[in-house]
Amino acid sequence: MLTFSPIIPPPPMDELVNFVAQRKRLFVLTGAGCSTESGIPDYRDAEGEWKHKRPLQYQDFIRSKNVRKRYWARSLLGWQRIALAQPNPAHIALACLERAGWIDQLVTQNVDGLHQKAGNRRVLDLHGRLDTVECLDCPWQWPRETFQQRLEERNPDFKNFSAATAPDGDALLEDIDFSQFQIPPCEQCAGILKPSVTFFGEGVPPQKVKQAYAYLEDADGLLVVGSSLMVYSGYRFCRAAWEQRKPITAINLGRTRADDKFFLKIAAPCSQVLPALVTQLGI
């Protein structure tokens, strides 16, 4: 039996409980704010602006070998934070809600796999997963842990650097010469390797979008957790729910792109609100 530390619920808590209790086919959309208390930084501040430099763009990764060297060098250091991260109370509460039948489908913009670690089974990883590496020239894939070993074997000096953690398995490794960094090639065709995630500037696979829309069509409400919705790939589902006249509730610190479309918004940490919701629903 899971237990949570007691907290003082924010004022709209009763409305949130009623919102969830009245819906048995809830579509949940999660973002980076759901994983911050697991030690994974997010991208945006309370106003929805970038906290860091703009993320790596897909076209830059494809066009430049030097950009790929820089990406993989930083990722060599940043991956361990993702690999060791554990679900926080927000993830655990969402898994409880699914097991109790309140969540019909969870779509996450995160790439850390923490929802699955917490026990969620109905998860669509909209932007992919960092724990797999894929070739852009053939169907070959590699587990990230295996690829990490290859990176460290080829670049023994780099693994000893220290760097601050950045979002999505990145590390703030600056003022370093990346020219000598060695990227293992694809074992099947020697092609370009990339984490199995959607980069900024890269389109989400159409089949995933279609699948998510189908889940939303069957849902009777949308719950946004820890997302500013500034990226269209997530915002599109709020727009679709709004057009379908389905109520939308959000748990998020700070401004979002869909503030004018919410039935209810709770501006509090999701790692506090969601456990309180579980408790008040009697799960």
d(CA 267, CA 142): 40
Q: Which of 52, 91, 115, 127 is catalytic?
A: 127
CB contact burial 257-283 (16+ within 10 A = b; e otherwise) = bbeebbeebbebbbbbbbbbbbbeeee
d(CA 221, CA 214): 13
- Long-range interactions of 147-154: CB distance < 8 A, separation 24+: 147/184, 147/193, 148/76, 148/79, 148/83, 150/184, 151/72, 151/75, 151/76, 151/183, 151/184, 152/76, 154/182, 154/183, 154/184
Closest CA to 70 of 82, 53, 85: 53
> Based on C-alpha coordinates, what's the Rg of the chain?
20
115 has catalytic annotation: no
- From the centroid of its chain, how far is CA 272? 19
| Catalytic residue IDs | 127
